[in-house]
Amino acid sequence: MKKRGFWQNGYLALILAVMYIPLILVIAFSFNESHLNSVWKGFTFKWYGELFRDRAMFDALWNSLVLAVSASLLAGILGTLGAVGKASPRNQGVGPGIRRMNDALEYLSILPIMLPEIILGMVFLAYFNLLRLPPGMLTLIISHTAFCVPYVYLVVQGRLAGMDKSYTEAAKNLGAGPQRVFFDITLPLILPAVISGMLLSFAMSFDDVIISVFVTGPRVNTLPIRIYSQLKTGITPKTNALCVLLFIVAVILCILSTYLSGIRTRDTGKTPRHKRRGEKTRGVE
């Protein structure tokens, strides 16, 4: 195997430095005695203690978690149904009219992720004012679900495009109805894509600021909005401590996901017990 050269290693080191040096600084200054992130005065854990005593910060964190989970679940359902419906043989045709309609639906489905967020925020604000819907958690969930659906839709659509159609055709030939084909064949095959799209939607919803500013109410405050509002008075090491805790949780979830994926891969590669017994019996014979 060809070894990487000096410039390749240097480029890789530069990319890693750009990615991880800010994170290292955030972790370091969460233990800083000073209120300023630019001055180091000593090592302390007091900011973590103040963080756990900050009720407003944890209320904002809870609101962000509820919002992100709700939006990702709804986006997972709507995006999956949309992708499956788009890939249905009934919606596939060779006529120019059907192709133009499918292309139009394709563009409309990904439009929310192509538009700037400030435009989406203004549109949602005008729409909720037209419906006389008071701003709050409900308007946040509706707006976040709307711009998260395309992420699930695109991921599931790509999985459906690469899926072997012979499974569903065989199930239909054996007499299975559309619902049973979906729940027994299609859904298990596209489930990894659905989960990936929902995780991406969760991340996009959790750290959204612009759209949330337009549609939130005075009684509902999310974590990104609270951190953004602190820019007027300056970010304290208490916010750095919160970022460190969220980073630790994210690392633990990544390790757990990798571990579970490894277990599933090893279990999938094992030979079933009854087959191993049959092979041993045949070997003895």
- pLDDT tens digits for 4-35? 677 888 888 889 888 888 888 888 888 888 77
The more confidently predicted of residues 234 and 138 is 138
Question: Which residue is associated with the tokens 């990544």?
Answer: 254
Indicate left, alpha or beta for 175 from its phi (over 0: left) and psi (-120 to 50: alpha).
left
Six-digit token string for 162: 């690469």
| Helix ranges restricted to H, the chain | 6-29, 46-52, 55-87, 96-114, 117-130, 137-161, 166-173, 178-181, 187-206, 210-215, 223-229, 237-269, 273-284
Closest CA to 201 of 142, 254, 144: 144
- Residue 231 is encoded by which pair of tokens? 């820019």
The pLDDT mean for the chain works out to 81
pLDDT given at position 150: 92
**Which 8-state DSSP code applies to residue 230?**
G
Domains and CATH numbers, the chain: 56-236 (1.10.3720.10)
| Nearest in space to 152 (alpha carbons), one of 112, 123, 96, 97 | 112
pLDDT digits (tens, 9 = 90+) for 174-229: 888 888 888 888 888 888 888 888 888 888 898 899 999 999 988 888 988 888 88
pTM of the model: 0.77
pLDDT given at position 9:
83
Tell me the CA distances in angstroms from 27 to 40, 131, 226, 240, one per residue in order: 13, 45, 20, 7
CA proximity to 123, closest of 112, 134, 132 = 112
Q: What are the two backbone dihedrals, phi and then psi, of residue 44, each rounded to the nearest 5 degrees? A: -160, 155
Name the residue with tokens 């979830």.
Answer: 253
CA-to-CA separations, 123 to 29, 146, 160, in angstroms, rounded = 39, 12, 32
Work out the burial of residue 140: count CB atoms within 10 Å of its CB; fewer than 13 is exposed, 13-18 middle, 19 or more buried. Answer: buried
Residue 218 is which amino acid? P
